[in-house]
Structure 1
Amino acid sequence: MSGFATGSTSKPRVLFVDDESRILDGLRRSLRVKRNEWEMAFAVEGAEALEMLARDPYDVVVSDMRMPRMNGAELLTNISREHPHIARVVLSGHVEPDTAIQVAVAGHRFLTKPAEVTSLIAVIEQMLFRTSSAHQDAARRLAGGVRAIPTLPEHTERIAALLAPDASLTGAVQTVMHDVGLTAKLLQLSTSTFFGARPRNSSIESIVHAMGLPTVQAVAGAGHELRSTEPWDPEIEQHLRVAWRHAMATASLAGSMASPANRPYAQAAALMQDVGQLICLAEIGADQRAGLDLAAGSRDGVPFRDVGVELLHLWGLPAPVISAVAQRDRPHTPDPSGLGVAGAVRVAHLLIRQTRPGGPETDAHAAELTALLSHPQLAAQNLDWRESAASAAREAGL
């Protein structure tokens, strides 16, 4: 592990913020076992924390929510703007619903008090890890400042309908499943007891039903308020529109290919396969394209995929989802006992690509596709998967 704020030869730095001195004293005692591995600092209010961040670099901030003068949501929002490379962890007791939504936007991970010290250490260790071996700090900066993933302009009517007083839970499920940002955010929140933790392989539909319409509307509304009203660059908007339709078609096909236990993972990973593109390209005007390379799929030399994987890691999405997104463009040899999440996403992605006009020739990846399609998990279903791919592509508008 490297790429810490203080350099690869220094210890990672963690800042704890809480207005109760006894809480900070308890953290000092319980985390003494990490004193040889981390440099730890403690602040009793948000203003003091910001002063410390201005003086010295840190890798992770762990903050309470209910503090006087500057609450935790305000502190973490400031950090997301001024220090996007810093991972933001919420450690708090009961919070009111309105504050919980602010937390959902401002933080990366969420823990409730009193937290088991092993759980706190595990989360901090995860936050210190960088998923990109070649672009550690750059990928973290681009991903770390993201509080809400943008919605394509053509989907704003769906969001407006979700926020309307007569919205239904059934409609909410469809809106979430058509929006990468809402899918990712609800998966992030679904692992926290703040929002009623669910099993990690829960489907989007079950998560929406468990959270309830008011919470889903509040999360969607908070994200909507963060989005720019400036018109998108037409070329970039079209590029992202095609990527989104490809993701929808891939999610439909991968869901059919995956085992029942892996289906929610495969659908989520397929839907979010190009989340890095959305982060790096969305809401960029024609005069802000310096550093973008659409052909290479990078921004400032950092691959879009590295940025997307880093964000999903920061948000704590399930490991099979992150792994499948990271491995989408790598040749895949599945285990004979099961196709796996990454295998389902990979084969679905390749098949959907071949249905697109002007896409790869049909013999591209021919040997790999033949091997994947002959896998017992797919062969047993006795389906024409190429025709299924063509149908999924048509339904997605490709």
Structure 2
Amino acid sequence: MEKRRILFVDDESAVLKALETMLEPMRELWSMEFVSDPRRALEQLARGAFDVVVSDTSMPVMDGSEFLAEVMLRHPQVVRIILARQTDRDRTLDALHVSHQFLAKPCDASTLRATVSRALALRKFLDGDTPLKALVSRLDSLPSMPALYRELVDALQDVDINFSEVARIIEQDPAMAAKILQLVNSAYFSLSRHVSDLDTALMLLGLDTIKSLVLSVQVFSQFEEETLRTLSVERLWRHSVRTGALARALAQAEKAPREMINDAFTAGLLHDTGKLILAANMPNIYAKVVHLCAEENLAPCEAERQLFGAAHAETGAYLLGLWGLPETIVEAVAYHHHPQDRETLDRSALTFVHVANALSQLPDAPAAILDTGYLGELELLDRLPAWAELSESVLA
């Protein structure tokens, strides 16, 4: 098996030595290089391909944000992870535009190994150095609906704003939700559990950080007016919100654990993230999907694979995985059309997102979009009539 190549960059030789020592057990799987000068690290990258770069934030010659910006520009397919001290929050927020994930410095071996390993495992969604993978790896945000973006900006400028009002706005927008969850689920915050509930995420970040993200760092973006006019973006947004609400209601009806209920809502809200990526960044090609489906009688996912080399499900899952969102959410996004492709067959957030996605499109979509074989294996097929009835009230 070919070893994966990892590059560590830190100006403190003691830190590099500690990293090298604690990662020694990974030598059989990873080929690792440790460099103290970011300029030399760029030379290393130019000489040979690396899979992951882990960089410190504070370096005298070129800081972490500058270095990773160059990596993003020259080698966009490389996964970019930044190490930041808890006291250096401003630098960390500045690095949001160029980093996929954040780790607290000092970082323990298990957290570092797990973060890098998860990033490497994402190749199952988008493999090879393709233009689409490079595009997705460069993204630092997803576009939001302009009206919601303006509502959030106005709300955050109100001195009397509260968490619940901010959460109400953000949970209506897949792009904002994904970015908030990227930050709060990073190991930088040293949480012992993953967070998929937006109220909890916002409380953990704090209003000052959220205001900085939106008003100063400007981590959110908006759809271009031309894109809104030419593509059914509003319809896509409405479907995402409805799917999230229904997935949560289905999980609650089945008395799922609280964490699974939260995962179901968030994964439902984010399940079409890949469509946002394709529509915002390649609108002219994305507009051809509908025509190709009609002309060649293809399912939308197959048309996307012909046009882009991958469908929206794996495209969205790859980005959310890069951003470090919980694996339960990434898998639900990746397999929401084909749940039996998931390696483990059990009841999960994926189950409720798959059903919610199908029920929210009926009767307009073909009944085949609901995988009855999958539901049968989970012994849930007899729940369909009750779920269909529930969907009528939730989606009314």
Counting only pairs closer than 5 Å after superposition, residues 242-261 of structure 1 correspond to structure 2 as: 242-258=235-251, 259-261=256-258
Whether 2:183 is the aligned partner of 1:185: answer no
Return the match for 1:158 from 121, 129, 151.
Answer: 151
Return the match for 1:71 from 47, 50, 63.
Answer: 63
**CA, structure 1 residues 133+198, in 2 after alignment: closer, same or farther (shift >3 Å)?**
closer
**CA, structure 1 residues 51+224, in 2 after alignment: closer, same or farther (shift >3 Å)?**
same
- 1:94 and 1:218 map into 2 onto residues whose CA distance is 17
- 1:92 and 1:191 map into 2 onto residues whose CA distance is 15
Residue number in structure 1 paired with 2:334:
326
- 2:149 and 2:14 map into 1 onto residues whose CA distance is 47
Residue deviations 1:95-141 (CA, integer Å, cap 9, x gap):
43321212333322222222222322222222222343674443542
* 3-state SS, counterpart of residue 361 of structure 2: helix
- 1:115 and 1:354 map into 2 onto residues whose CA distance is 48
Residue number in structure 1 paired with 2:300:
none
The AA in structure 1 aligned to 2:359 is L
Return the match for 1:386 from 373, 385, 388.
Answer: 388
Deviates more, 1:165-174 or 1:317-326: 165-174
* 3-state SS, counterpart of residue 32 of structure 2: strand
Return the match for 1:40 from 22, 32, 48.
Answer: 32
Residue number in structure 2 paired with 1:272:
270
Residue number in structure 1 paired with 2:352:
344
**CA, structure 1 residues 76+163, in 2 after alignment: closer, same or farther (shift >3 Å)?**
farther
Any stretches of 5+ residues in structure 2 without a counterpart?
Answer: 294-302
Structure 1 residue 172, shift from structure 2 partner: 1.0
Whether 2:193 is the aligned partner of 1:199: answer yes
Aligned partners of 1:247 and 1:272 also within 8 Å: yes
Residue deviations 1:133-166 (CA, integer Å, cap 9, x gap):
6744435423211111111334332232244243
Structure 1 residue 365, shift from structure 2 partner: 4.3
> Which has the larger share of helix?
2
**CA, structure 1 residues 311+367, in 2 after alignment: closer, same or farther (shift >3 Å)?**
closer
**CA, structure 1 residues 58+333, in 2 after alignment: closer, same or farther (shift >3 Å)?**
closer
Whether 2:227 is the aligned partner of 1:233: answer yes
Any stretches of 5+ residues in structure 1 without a counterpart?
Answer: 1-8
Residue deviations 1:222-280 (CA, integer Å, cap 9, x gap):
67467478543345542x22121111111111111112421110001000001011112
The AA in structure 2 aligned to 1:174 is R
Structure 1 residue 348, shift from structure 2 partner: 1.1
**CA, structure 1 residues 209+376, in 2 after alignment: closer, same or farther (shift >3 Å)?**
farther
CA-atom RMSD in angstroms: 3.3
Structure 1 residue 292, shift from structure 2 partner: 6.1
Aligned partners of 1:80 and 1:106 also within 8 Å: yes
Return the match for 1:147 from 134, 140, 149.
Answer: 140
**CA, structure 1 residues 310+266, in 2 after alignment: closer, same or farther (shift >3 Å)?**
same
Structure 1 residue 352, shift from structure 2 partner: 0.4
Segments ≥4 residues shifted beyond 4 Å: 133-136, 283-286, 331-334, 361-374, 376-379
**CA, structure 1 residues 82+391, in 2 after alignment: closer, same or farther (shift >3 Å)?**
farther
TM superposition score normalised by structure 1: 0.82
- 2:369 and 2:25 map into 1 onto residues whose CA distance is 53
Whether 2:44 is the aligned partner of 1:56: answer no
**CA, structure 1 residues 125+374, in 2 after alignment: closer, same or farther (shift >3 Å)?**
closer
Q: Calculate percent identity across the aligned residue pairs.
A: 27
Aligned partners of 2:111 and 2:187 also within 8 Å: no
Residue number in structure 1 paired with 2:365:
360
- 2:237 and 2:83 map into 1 onto residues whose CA distance is 35
Aligned partners of 1:100 and 1:194 also within 8 Å: no
**CA, structure 1 residues 160+98, in 2 after alignment: closer, same or farther (shift >3 Å)?**
same
Residue number in structure 2 paired with 1:5:
none
Aligned partners of 2:227 and 2:279 also within 8 Å: no
* 3-state SS, counterpart of residue 232 of structure 1: helix
